[in-house]
């Protein structure tokens, strides 16, 4: 098991991770690790900070956040099954032939 370390982060980042972790079913630590890995891979891919500045409008971001919250609430209340919240249907997943990259080490 990896050695865990404590770090200081801003309240803004903590609050964002808290909100997102609930929607993504991750712990706050795992959510922050996920964001760090995304950033590391974007950096390795040569993507600049500018490419991430205002990629979509605030309205689209708010609509997506609302859609995820509505789906999360519907699953929690039993109106939807958990598989209804998946991006891809089970039949699509079963028919797919995934290919995994072997050149990235996440450990």
DSSP string across 15-56: HHHHHHHHHHT--HHHHHHHHHHHHHHHHHTT--GGGGSS-S
Contact predicate 13/32, CB 8 Å? yes
pLDDT digits (tens, 9 = 90+) for 65-82: 888 888 888 888 988 877
With 0-12 / 13-18 / 19 or more C-beta atoms within 10 angstroms meaning exposed / middle / buried, residue 17 is buried
Query: How much is the pLDDT for 30?
Result: 92
Report how far apart the first and last C-alpha atoms of the chain are (Å, whole number). 11
Query: How much is the pLDDT for 57?
Result: 66
pLDDT digits (tens, 9 = 90+) for 15-51: 999 999 888 889 999 999 999 998 888 777 776 666 6
């Amino acid at each position: 098991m990896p050695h865990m370390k404590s770090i200081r982060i801003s309240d803004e980042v903590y609050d964002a991770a808290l909100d997102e972790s609930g929607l993504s079913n991750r712990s706050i630590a795992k959510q922050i690790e996920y964001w760090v890995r995304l950033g590391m891979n974007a950096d390795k891919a040569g993507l600049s900070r500018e490419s991430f500045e205002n990629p979509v409008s605030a309205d689209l971001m708010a609509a997506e956040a609302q859609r995820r919250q509505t789906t999360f609430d519907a699953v929690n209340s039993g109106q939807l099954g958990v598989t209804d919240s998946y991006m891809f249907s089970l039949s699509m997943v079963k028919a797919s032939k995934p290919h995994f990259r072997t050149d990235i080490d996440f450990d």
